[in-house]
Amino acid sequence: MTLENVNLSRRSLLGLGVAAGVITLTACGSGSGSSDDPLVMTVWGGEADRKTYQKRIDLLVKKHPELKVKLQLIPGDSYPQKVQTMIAGGNGPDIMQVAENVNVYSSKNQLRPLDDLAKSAGLDPKKRFGSIGSIYSYQGKLYAIPDRSGAMIVYYNKTLFEKKGIKAPTADWTWDDALDAFKELTVPGRTWGYGGAGWWAQWWSFVYQNGGTIIDANGKPAVATDEVVEALQWAGDLVFKHGVVPTPKQYADMGADIGGDQAFANGKVGVNTTGFWAISGLAQTKFEWDIAPLWRGKKQAVTAFGSGLAISRTAKNPTNAFKAIDFLTSPEAQQQIIASGEDVPANLEVQRSDAFLKPAWMKTPVDMNVFAESSSFVFHEPFIPEWNEMQTAFDKGLADFWLGKQRDARAALTAVQKNLESIIQSAG
């Protein structure tokens, strides 16, 4: 699942729907720059995203009146095809939102490397964004500047934890600590300890915690190794061996399209691991809840959900485009991301500010510092050009495993490994 689809299916923050078509908005400055043509900026999402991006663009134009920006919001399911068609026609966006499939574009020479522009602007990605500063890199070149980025976190039912006498989860929890808590929280047939880890973002975190990797340093798939097998087996055993995660049938019995996020909100599971977006569905819960960092394995590692801002190869004024990106990822503009409840700003200064730790819309005491704490645990997902094909290989190859029809993680991953070897080109 790419982030575009995550935005549609998992990030329906504040209950707002997806745009039905391309929405175009314009913010104009004085036109005193080197070109009268506006910068075109493409993003995906819904109405909440449109409003927040526009507020940030308005601040940009106020700061730099010589710039003009035209915002195009494109539905996530058609976003990749739309922007690639624009680039192929020589009219690509000047600024474009990208996520896990960033290198689908960069490998086709559709994005402009940003290293020199960042250096000229004095933007230090590591200083501004921490460990994710270079996450959108490919073959040693930076292709996007982080814009939105929040680690996967633990949501836990405080009421249930206190009732069972279980201490709140922390980053120092081990796999054994987590399993022990899940068992204590589970009441067979009624409530389960954990929402599950069948999504790549969840079980891959366990892989990297266990010292494994999905793609090795030479660009080759490495999913049949002991470390990856052990991590996947642990995740699967939570469902079919220990019974602390609902089976697919038990989820289906809860209702249509019910997963960990909804089951947690309904009090059916005591712990859920997911992103920032789940907060919006917890406003009416009948129990107290809070968030915590993900537990650890042999080491700490966690997935980050986010997106970056890139410049297409056909951009007519890359210098102005980067000037805009520089401002849009600055603290002043990034505060709008959390002020509207849209997402987690990638800027670490904002993550550590009162604007983020105590947002005006948050009515429940929540330890928002968890996001900044988790930022140092983030591992770099393999954003390879074959990202979409790789995800399809996992979806098909592990389908029976997650249904309980195939209980052997090694056998499942050995088959996936062979498939990946046939579709992934080595970067070495």
Spatial neighbors of 352 by CB under 8 A, at least 6 apart, are: 369, 372
- Please write the tens of the pLDDT for every residue from 379-403: 988 999 999 999 999 999 999 999 9
Cα 44 from Cα 294, distance rounded (Å): 28
Q: Cα(300)–Cα(377) distance, rounded to whole angstroms?
A: 6
pLDDT for position 284: 86
pLDDT at 76: 82
Determine the average pLDDT of the residues in 317-336: 97
Q: Which residues contact 193 (CB under 8 A, 6 or more apart)?
A: 181, 182, 183, 184, 185, 186, 244, 245, 269, 270, 271
Tokens 């909804």 identify what position?
262
Q: Where residue 29 falls among pLDDT bands split at 50, 70, 90? A: very low
Q: Count CA atoms closer than 13 A to 104's CA, side-chain side.
A: 15
- pLDDT tier at 280, thresholds 50, 70, 90: confident
Q: Residues of the chain with pLDDT > 90: what percent?
A: 85
State residue 329 phi and psi, 5-degree precision. -105, 10
* Residue whose entry in the numeric block shows the structure tokens 């109405």: 47
What percent of the chain has a predicted confidence (pLDDT) above 70?
91
Q: What is the pLDDT of residue 35?
A: 56
Q: How large is the greatest C-alpha to C-alpha distance in the chain, in angstroms? A: 68
For the stretch 143-173, pLDDT in tens is 999 999 999 999 999 999 999 999 999 999 9
**What is the rounded distance in angstroms from the CA atom of residue 314 to the CA atom of residue 332?**
29
More confident residue, 97 or 25: 97
* pLDDT at residue 22 is higher than 70: no
Cβ contact 324:93 at 8 Å: no
The pLDDT of residue 32 is above 80: no
Residue 11, φ and ψ in degrees, nearest 5 = -110, 40
| Confidence check: pLDDT of 15 > 60 | no
